[in-house]
Amino acid sequence: MNLRNHVEKLYAQKFEEKYPLVCFLTNYVTVLDLVDMCIHSGGSPVLTDEISEAHEMVEYSKSQAVVMNFGTINREYLDIMTLTGKTANRVHVPVILDPAAITASSFRKYAIEHLLKEVKVDILKGNLGEIKFILGYDTKNKGIDSFEDEDGAEKYCIELAEKLGTVVVMTGKTDIITDGKRMAKVSNGDAKLKKICGAGSSVAAIMATYSGLTEDYFLSATVGCAVMGVASEMAEERMKEREGIRTFKTYVHDAVSMMETKELMDRLNLMEIELD
């Protein structure tokens, strides 16, 4: 598999006006960022937090991907996610899960265990601490932030991918994407992304949009990491003296919305690894 070629072809579909419909079950902190990133990526977002209609958003509205984010999870929202996820599984719509801050409380631990038991997730995107936590290892997370040493992180990503039968994405200094059989590493991204609330959540929105255009979720996950990483580098190049993080965030959104295929591919630092 020539992953670079496939990334280029999938990204180029952004300009074909296909508008994949993405259903968001997300938090109220970064919701606008996720919706914007979906639109910037050529998608069409729809949102719900009403349990009586959630499954209809997937089955009858013909959503092509579902994003679930744990940022402000509660019991009612967990029920909505479970019902929606089961519906998505039944009608073969990909589920992208961002288990934000799952290490923060016992309820969140219960919630992730419950959801992963009831719903087949197609892409699970998290930081190393969140990935290790799901596997039962001790972690150094604080809220949504991971303070793990990322050396050797590949083994945890592979272990979780094999355990869940899913694509696992670890966002970090180098993003790691694996389904247990293949692995990709994206080494793009500016350090200021860590200072933006919603940067990681936005990656999930981009992944979901491209997941509506392909059945290869390893590929769509790789595109999501590539786009955000390159966009942040383009944003940094625009920064002027006395411009701060809020301006940087705006420039990231600009880059995602305006990035041409050639710009992405010229800047992309991608490594493809075949696993035994």
Q: Report the binding-site residues.
A: 125, 171, 198
Residues annotated as binding site for substrate?
Answer: 198
CA angle 14, 166, 265 (to 5 degrees): 30
22 conformational bin, left if phi > 0, alpha if psi -120 to 50, beta if neither: beta
As a whole number of angstroms, the distance between CA 154 and CA 203 comes to 19
As a whole number of angstroms, the distance between CA 72 and CA 78 comes to 10
CA-based R_g, the chain, Å: 17
Residues annotated as binding site for ATP?
Answer: 125, 171
Name residue, tokens 């295929």: 261
